Structure 1
Amino acid sequence: MGWFGHSNKTFSFSMFSDSHLAILAIFIFVNAAIFIHRRKLSDEKWRKAELLTAFSLILIELLNHYWMYSHGVWMLGRSMPLELCNLGLLLAIGLLLTRKKIFFELLFFIALLGATQAILTPALTYDFPHFRFFHFFYAHLMIVWVTLYFTLAKGYYPTLASVLKVILFINLLLPAILFINKTADGNYWFLRHKPDSPSFMDLLGPYPWYIFSLESLLICSSLFTWLCLRLWLRGEKKSSYSET
């Protein structure tokens, strides 16, 4: 039925298939390019590109909901933009449109810890060249690239307070997500069961203990990421002083 069609047999996704490996190669290449060209990307001329990226993310997300509705698979318990990466996408759009740091602070850890994991171990049904394949990877890749762009090129850095904000943000949303899961028979944030496809959650123990493992992992990995970035920034400052 074409790239926007519904055929599951034609577009069945397999982890670490050729299409997935190609995406991972693009992911690594663009990450490196953002780092290498971070000073050039700091120029204000890239503002138009920021806005165009925001509108492209809005468009592809609207198309995704249209696809789900038109194929009769939109469901209250699984189609609302409530997954962490969905929230990350909304935060990325807000950051691109407004450049407000609060969006960055919440996005930083969701992007680098959540979206990156989703890219490595996708919970995805459709393979290349289906629309859902493009939507999934475009959205998740952009979440990470927007975060790296604002960190490396625009000088937005998370603080220790940012770690506390994202932990508070997630835990304040948790009761609402649990309520929606119960009333709409959903599995947002994988709080009722693990993903059907293989993921790192398989290493975190059985239900419900993997939820507590995820909470501990969020706190530890956020603190570790913040500390690593802080040490890298110190090294950057020392090298800039030595150059002058």
Structure 2
Amino acid sequence: MMFRAFLAILEIGSFWHVFPIVVAILAGTFIIYFAKSKLNRKQQVNLLCVLTVSLSLFVLLVPVYKLITHEFHIKRDLPLYLNNFTALIFPIVLILKKPLLFRILFFWSMAWGVQGILTPDVTNNPQSLEYFRYWIANLMPMVIVFYVLFILKIFPDFNSVFLSIVSLQIYFIIVMIINEILHSNYMYLNAKPASITVLDYLGPWPYYLIVMQFMLIPYFLLFYFPFYLLKKQSSSNL
């Protein structure tokens, strides 16, 4: 009954669903505009460092807080969902200064973030820590990759589409092993989430995992398509 009541609060299109999305769009737009118009190159990179480190620390501190308050559960609170893992490695990617890694994180952030926006899997009330963790971990990586796109001008290319998918398969395997050890369901690899998601239309376990793998290629290509058009237009103008 409590779960049903919460679903009524977080109904798709409701205030508590739309509000964090609008905040992220406004905040992201302001940050990018401010960096582009007011900061030099070094300051822009420093701001990116602040964004990535802040996000990473937030993702790390949530399970630490739960551990201190005796609310931590190893089967659900490790930062192993793709959005949380992406948040953790953003600072490492920034230190390594490898554009390819940014391109991979672009697809990871967009793929998981868009799915999280369209079919939110939040099973706590909007005043809870879980609510804030969910939306920050889903939306902030998208803000960061758009910052990298507009400020650092690092755009995804065709090769990075498939490298992102291959690297994601490796991560899937790692998480599957962890799930087997902990008897957990990180990345929803052992069962579908309680809330309604696109996985509900892909068949029962384990078939939805197989279907999902085939969907990754067109899904990632969809995010690459605007950059393909932009590159094609730039080439035609030469």
TM-score norm. by structure 1 comes to 0.81
- Return 83-92 or 105-114, whichever deviates more: 83-92
Q: 2:19 aligns with which of 4, 15, 22?
A: 22
5 Å matches for 1:109-124? 109-124=107-122
Cα 1:215–1:31, aligned 2, differ >3 Å: closer, same or farther?
farther
The one-letter code matched in structure 2 to 1:60 is F
Measured after TM superposition, the shift of residue 111 of structure 1 is 0.9
1:24-73: CA deviations, max 9, x gaps?
22234456667877853884132232122123113312320123213434
Quote the residue 1:182 is aligned against.
180
5 Å matches for 1:1-244? 12=6, 14-16=10-12, 17-30=14-27, 39-40=36-37, 43-44=40-41, 45-235=43-233
1:204-244: CA deviations, max 9, x gaps?
222211111211111111123223321124336767x7xxx
- Return 13-22 or 201-210, whichever deviates more: 13-22
The one-letter code matched in structure 1 to 2:134 is F
Does the 8 A contact of 1:109 with 1:222 survive in 2?
yes
Per residue, is there more helix in 1 or in 2? 2
- Return 135-144 or 93-102, whichever deviates more: 93-102
Does the 8 A contact of 1:181 with 1:188 survive in 2?
yes
Take 1:192 and 1:92, find their aligned partners in 2: how far apart are those partners? 27
Does the 8 A contact of 2:60 with 2:79 survive in 1?
no
Provide structure 1 residue ranges, at least 5 long, that are not aligned to the other structure: 1-7
Measured after TM superposition, the shift of residue 164 of structure 1 is 2.0
Take 2:39 and 2:153, find their aligned partners in 1: how far apart are those partners? 8
Cα 1:99–1:128, aligned 2, differ >3 Å: closer, same or farther?
farther
Aligned length: 232
The DSSP-based 3-state class of the residue aligned with 1:61 is helix
Give the fraction of aligned pairs with identical amino acids, expressed as a percent: 23
1:52-100: CA deviations, max 9, x gaps?
2123113312320123213434233322222111222123333445543
The DSSP-based 3-state class of the residue aligned with 1:219 is helix
The one-letter code matched in structure 2 to 1:108 is F
The one-letter code matched in structure 1 to 2:37 is K
CA RMSD of aligned residues (A): 2.9
- Return 212-221 or 33-42, whichever deviates more: 33-42
Take 1:55 and 1:87, find their aligned partners in 2: how far apart are those partners? 13
Provide structure 2 residue ranges, at least 5 long, that are not aligned to the other structure: none
